[in-house]
Amino acid sequence: MITPGKKDTRFTGSLSEINVVPLVDVVLVLLIIFMITSPILFQGVDVQLPKTESGDAVQGEKFVISITKEYKIYINRNHVHEKLIEDKFKSLNAAGVNSIFLRADEKVEYGYILKVMDLARKSGITQVSLVTEPLREKGRRK
């Protein structure tokens, strides 16, 4: 109750300021989460590629066949048993894929790589490209 001659000391205006501290906290947490998970998303099968001086960078979504030094075969990070690889190549060809990229560890025997390439070609995949790493110049570090 307001008596005559006294001012109303209650707050009657609206609160127009936004507290941004919780917003900043949430954004920083999300940033940390993305910084931790993004390298995990881009890791593929661990393969030590041979190094070459020539070659072009590949753009877009491609089917990558990886062969590890333990002779395990992966299609886009999915392990495929050696006996089933020809069937997988045939299903890729049936889906309209006619080119693949082959990444093989430098420790894998050349004959084994040719065997996988031959299975791909027998299955109807006409273009098999080998993936390498560019050579580093002697004055540069990795």
The C-alpha angle with vertex 119 and arms to 115 and 124, in degrees rounded to 5, equals 150
Using one digit for the tens of pLDDT, what is the confidence trace for 10-23? Answer: 666 666 777 888 89
Query: Which residues have C-beta within 8 Å of that of residue 82, sequence separation ≥ 6?
Result: 71, 73
The dihedrals phi and psi of 80, each to the nearest 5 degrees, come to -125, 130
Asked if residues 102 and 116 have their Cβ atoms less than 8 Å apart, the reply is yes
The pLDDT mean for the chain works out to 79
Model confidence at 33: pLDDT above 50: yes
Instruction: Find the mean pLDDT for residues 92-109.
Output: 89
Using one digit for the tens of pLDDT, what is the confidence trace for 51-81? Answer: 666 655 544 457 888 999 999 999 888 899 8
Instruction: Find the mean pLDDT for residues 27-44.
Output: 79
Instruction: Find the mean pLDDT for residues 96-102.
Output: 88
9 versus 77: the higher-pLDDT residue is 77
Query: Which residues have C-beta within 8 Å of that of residue 120, sequence separation ≥ 6?
Result: 65, 89, 100, 102, 128
Distance CA 85, CA 65 (A): 10
What residues are paired with 133 via a beta bridge? 51
What's the pLDDT score for residue 47?
Answer: 65
Of all residues in the chain, what percent carry a pLDDT higher than 90?
A: 23
Domains of the chain, earliest start first: 51-134 (3.30.420.270)
Does the predicted model carry a pTM greater than 0.75? no
